Structure 1
């Protein structure tokens, strides 16, 4: 397969990471400062927001890296290999980790929404959790299908 066939997808993976990086640099500190102003008696509020949102960014970027590796495997005609199965497994685990981190941070979203009288914040948190779980399920299905295809391929290679 030509290496340029997945070039568009590689560019998209990189472009997906840029806005999230911008959010981490510019928006997350503003959210943390705003939460600290809403709850001045909770000294750790600012740091809890930082921990939750930045911790969710780590598995996000790891999943993007795994998707990029998967595209490289496709370019190298290694799409039907254990390397691809492992990349999909890592994407699935990253999506689950993101969901878990946002579930753990949902009480913080609730506190901010309650004080600011903005229930949309909770809805946004639920959408992030739901989207991550959908990605995890999709990666799990692809992982299982790819594993079965590899097994069938290995059986056919052994057949004379």
Structure 2
């Protein structure tokens, strides 16, 4: 693969991380404070909101790091290696973790949507869950295909 293509993908990975960082810095505290305004008798919701959203940001950035590593392996012509399989496995685990954290946080989104009369909040949570599961399945398929390609390659190397 040409270096320009992976350079573009590396830039895309970085550009994907920037808006999420901005959301973590600016939007999450505002949403948490807004939740406390809606439910003043439940101040622990703010902490739960922080825990859920910031805890999901950690596997998100780890998955981006793994994608960056995978692109580096492709640059070095080591795409068909166990390291690539491990990176895909880590991306799959991160996507499942994000999905699980958002499933656990859906009751918080429901409370926010119920009080604010905004059902779109629940839809956003469901979209994140669905997207994470699609990424997990895609990474699992790629991981399996890459593992099979590595096995075929090692068999061919042994027969020659």
TM-score range, shorter chain: over 0.9
2:114 alignment counterpart: 114
2:53 alignment counterpart: 53
1:38 deviation in Å? 0.6
1:124 alignment counterpart: 124
* TM-score normalized by the length of structure 2: 0.98
Instruction: Report SS of the residue matched to 1:109.
Output: helix
Q: Which runs of 4+ in 1 moved over 3 A?
A: 1-5
Instruction: Report SS of the residue matched to 2:80.
Output: coil
1:96 alignment counterpart: 96
5+ residue gaps, structure 2: none
* Partner Cα distance (2:64, 2:43) in 1: 34
* Partner Cα distance (1:39, 1:20) in 2: 26
* RMSD over aligned Cα atoms: 0.9
Q: How does 1:72-91 map to 2 (within 5 A)?
A: 72-91=72-91
Cα deviation per residue 1:93-132 (whole Å; 9 max; x = unaligned)? 0000000000000000000001111111111110000000
* Partner Cα distance (1:2, 1:8) in 2: 10
1:2 deviation in Å? 5.0
5+ residue gaps, structure 1: none
* TM-score normalized by the length of structure 1: 0.98
